[in-house]
Structure 1
Amino acid sequence: MTIDKPLEEERARLRLSSRWLQGDGPSNPADELEAVCAWLREHGDTVTDLGVEPGLAPDIYGTGALVEDFEAELAALFGMPAARFMPSGCMAQPIALRIWSDRDRNPVTAFHPTSHLELHEEHGYRELHGLTAHLVGDPARPTTAADVEALLEPGGAAHETGIASLLIELPAREIGGQLPSWDDLAELSQLCRENGIKLHLDGARVWQAAPAYGRPLAEIAALFDSIYVSFYKDVGALPGAMLLGPRDFIDEAAVWQRRQGGTLYTAVANIVSARMRLGDCLARMPRLIGRAREVAALFSGHECIGVLPDPPHTSMFHLRLQGEVEDLLLARDHVARETGIWLFGKLKPVSEGVAGTELSMGAASLALGDEELAAAIDLLLAFRPSRPAQQPS
């Protein structure tokens, strides 16, 4: 495929100069590092045996007040006994499933067909930890207790082996941020406990789930045995994750983190970035869920645009646009030139003549008025790309 370099350069310029609908908009990577430096300087001096050192002492190999205080803060927020800061969810979640499998002496786990562990991690759970996974439930909707019962009953894929753990993602990104109903989630949790199955929460975006359910994070967490959360998704911090669960579970997870090279000499910037930004994320999330529903309604008012789910369950949703990918991208570029609004980023084919994208609301969406956004959508749909004249044969 030939790359149109002038077009790509123009798109980069439009992307960086426009007002975004999604996320928090473009930023300079230096901004976050400068904010981290300012936070460290603001939080006073640290007294050591060697005298007074400026700023807050960094964590060292996962220890020290900087990280331990944050771990305690998150454990309290979720009502869990303990927490451990880790570099990524790709490390944290397979570790959790490995521990539950080792304790049950059963290498079998289960999760949704669209789980990040299945689609985006090169099957690390299998290749690194020797686990086998059953994909449970309909790929287009959240997993239910009935799905797990079908897996375990006579004739089910896990009838003979059982499963040591079940991973549930709240909300489920690949299906537009869908959530199970609260009653369905509680029923699933009860089923797992009755069958000795450890229930793990993929909470990469769980910050959206609490206001969507109208329940505190600790009440959601009470349904699970272990939890992972991300700090760069929604929170907008530098990369980082937290694994939460019982104290002995977290102590064991720390050993696995060390074995996998995840105990860095220091993660000071990533920890501070998360500590700085988490409060603002929690405060604005209810408004972002409302904004997602407002924005989705502006799109779904057009017959040629679909929204999944409609209305959105959380602060994210998927769009389905009739048209070819490149034509729609050219229309997006046209909207950006004319209005200064960047409606979406990448598109991918979903079916013949239909393209899809994900929209996740952040601070940028709150700065766009409904009237100008509606006009931008109208302009997107009205655009017709010019075609070179065909030469006579």
Structure 2
Amino acid sequence: MADLPGDADLLARFRAASASAEVVFWRAAGSPAETFRELAAFAEEHGIEWDRYGERGAVAQLESEVAALLGKPAAVMFPSGIMAQQATLRAWCDRSGSRRVALPDLSHLVHHEQDGPRRVLGLELEWLTTGRETATAASLAAVGGRLGAVMVELPLRDAGCLLPAWDDLVALSAAARERGVAFHADGARIWESVGHWGRTLAEAADLVDSMYVSLYKGLGATSGAVVVCPEDLAGELRSWRTRMGGTTFSMTAAAVGGLMGIRADLDRFDRYRTWAVALAGELRERGIRTFPEQPHIATFLAYAPGEVDEVNARVVAHVEEHGVVPCGLWSASEVPGWVVTELTCYEAAVERDPADVAEQIAAVVA
């Protein structure tokens, strides 16, 4: 994704107007008090108990449920996905004796973690793919030398939530195992992705040695992440979590949010994806391009001709006048004279007619 627009006044006006407006995309942010009441009601209904330093209670229950869903022997909760993935890759690398990790150059680890994998954990990053390309067995074969791990992002978020073909993923898994390289997946949005392949969560997780899943992306928790993995690696991950300052006194609130999301959202993602595909079709009819052309999950990129400040001024004016946020702010795209935004279609979106939503978006970018 391109950087956020730089006009501070527009950004401030957008945030102020959006605070009391109807939101079409992502999720409407409830107040802290509302969120805490929902967590408390769920905890009381289900007899949730406190964890202590990541053991017992809500955390143990969440780890057990996530491991079962993904068909893995063990799971470890972390306070953040950044910590979860860096710890996992370091653990695999320590086993292999090599700090080299092959991953996409658009990976979250490369663009959104302030060089943490290299500066904090000493990992050496090699490009498995570059740009909007999904990995294949040939991609791995092109990375020579000894590797500590190979990683894919499912989906590749900064490429418009792009997913590889299932057969390519199967072949990549086989190639990693034949080469004796640990295969890890950034599955932050795996909950939303398996419907694209017509596969189960366990079938997807079976192709990798470990997978990180997010508790707030898709599932709507306040924070948190879980890594599913072999039992012996789980022990190493708990040690790394402590070393990295992640074994906090309690992670119960985030764990309860994850448990709520598992019960509430897992059956909804196919509906969201179907609606996103319909919206993308409506947008293309109005001269707005989408990538992927047919979204793989309920999140995708939209491109339109225009200049950033002019388009965003119309978006802000629309929110202020109508009390509806038709889309987020737009950024300059890689193509001069075009702007781009990311659209995530959840419950607030699918309650609307995709043609009406496309018309609103077209009106603010026209």
- Name the SS for the 1:33 alignment partner: helix
Give, in whole Å, the separation in 2 of the partners of 1:349 and 1:313. Answer: 23
TM-score (norm 1): 0.88
Stretches of 4+ aligned residues off by more than 4 angstroms? 7-10
- The 8 Å contact of residues 325 and 348 in structure 1, kept in 2 or not, is answered as yes
Q: Give the residue type in structure 2 aligned to 1:166.
A: V
State the Cα deviation string for residues 160-216 of structure 1 (Å, max 9, x = none). Answer: x32121110111100001100000000100110110111101001111111111110
Q: 1:332 — aligned with what?
A: 315
State the Cα deviation string for residues 73-126 of structure 1 (Å, max 9, x = none). Answer: 111110000001110111111111111111111111110001111111122111
Residue of 274, 277, 295 corresponding to 2:258: 274
Q: 1:243 — aligned with what?
A: 227
State the Cα deviation string for residues 236-285 of structure 1 (Å, max 9, x = none). Answer: 11100001100000011101101111101111111111111222221110
* 1:337 shift after superposition: 4.4
Q: Give the residue type in structure 2 aligned to 1:320.
A: Y
Q: Give the residue type in structure 1 aligned to 2:24.
A: L
Give, in whole Å, the separation in 2 of the partners of 1:112 and 1:76. Answer: 28
Residue of 36, 39, 43 corresponding to 2:39: 36
* 1:334 shift after superposition: 3.4
Q: 1:23 — aligned with what?
A: 26
Q: Give the residue type in structure 1 aligned to 2:213.
A: V
Q: Does 1:57 align with 2:49?
A: yes
- The 8 Å contact of residues 222 and 254 in structure 2, kept in 1 or not, is answered as yes
State the Cα deviation string for residues 10-30 of structure 1 (Å, max 9, x = none). Answer: 433431233222112232122
Residue of 353, 363, 377 corresponding to 2:347: 363
Matches within 5 A, 1:114-125: 114-125=106-117
Q: 2:294 — aligned with what?
A: 311
Residue of 221, 244, 248 corresponding to 2:205: 221
Give, in whole Å, the separation in 1 of the partners of 2:149 and 2:12. Answer: 47
Q: Give the residue type in structure 2 aligned to 1:37.
A: A
Give, in whole Å, the separation in 2 of the partners of 1:144 and 1:138. Answer: 12
Q: 1:184 — aligned with what?
A: 168
- The 8 Å contact of residues 75 and 227 in structure 2, kept in 1 or not, is answered as yes
Q: 1:321 — aligned with what?
A: 304
Q: Give the residue type in structure 1 aligned to 2:258.
A: A
* 1:377 shift after superposition: 3.0
Q: Does 1:108 align with 2:91?
A: no
* 1:336 shift after superposition: 2.8
- Name the SS for the 2:176 alignment partner: helix
Q: 1:51 — aligned with what?
A: none
Please identify, of 131-140 and 280-289, the stretch whose mean Cα deviation from structure 2 is larger.
131-140
- 1:90–1:326 distance in 2 versus 1, CA, 3 Å: same
* 1:224 shift after superposition: 0.1
Give, in whole Å, the separation in 2 of the partners of 1:244 and 1:314. Answer: 22
Larger radius of gyration: 1
Give, in whole Å, the separation in 2 of the partners of 1:39 and 1:87. Answer: 20
* 1:333 shift after superposition: 2.4
Structure number with the bigger relative contact order (C-alpha 8 A, sep ≥ 6) is: 2
Q: 2:3 — aligned with what?
A: none
Give, in whole Å, the separation in 2 of the partners of 1:232 and 1:341. Answer: 24
- The 8 Å contact of residues 152 and 185 in structure 2, kept in 1 or not, is answered as yes
Q: 2:136 — aligned with what?
A: 144
Ranges in structure 1 where 5+ consecutive residues have no aligned partner: 45-55, 153-160, 383-393
- 1:182–1:13 distance in 2 versus 1, CA, 3 Å: same
- The 8 Å contact of residues 32 and 273 in structure 1, kept in 2 or not, is answered as no
- 1:3–1:221 distance in 2 versus 1, CA, 3 Å: closer
Q: 2:62 — aligned with what?
A: 70
Q: What is the root-mean-square deviation of aligned Cα atoms in Å?
A: 1.7
Give, in whole Å, the separation in 2 of the partners of 1:145 and 1:123. Answer: 27
- 1:127–1:366 distance in 2 versus 1, CA, 3 Å: same
Q: Does 1:341 align with 2:324?
A: yes
- 1:359–1:261 distance in 2 versus 1, CA, 3 Å: same
Q: 1:53 — aligned with what?
A: none
Q: Percent of counterpart pairs with the same letter? A: 34
TM-score (norm 2): 0.94
- The 8 Å contact of residues 200 and 227 in structure 1, kept in 2 or not, is answered as yes
* 1:64 shift after superposition: 1.1
Ranges in structure 2 where 5+ consecutive residues have no aligned partner: 1-5
- 1:269–1:2 distance in 2 versus 1, CA, 3 Å: closer
Please identify, of 328-337 and 28-37, the stretch whose mean Cα deviation from structure 2 is larger.
328-337
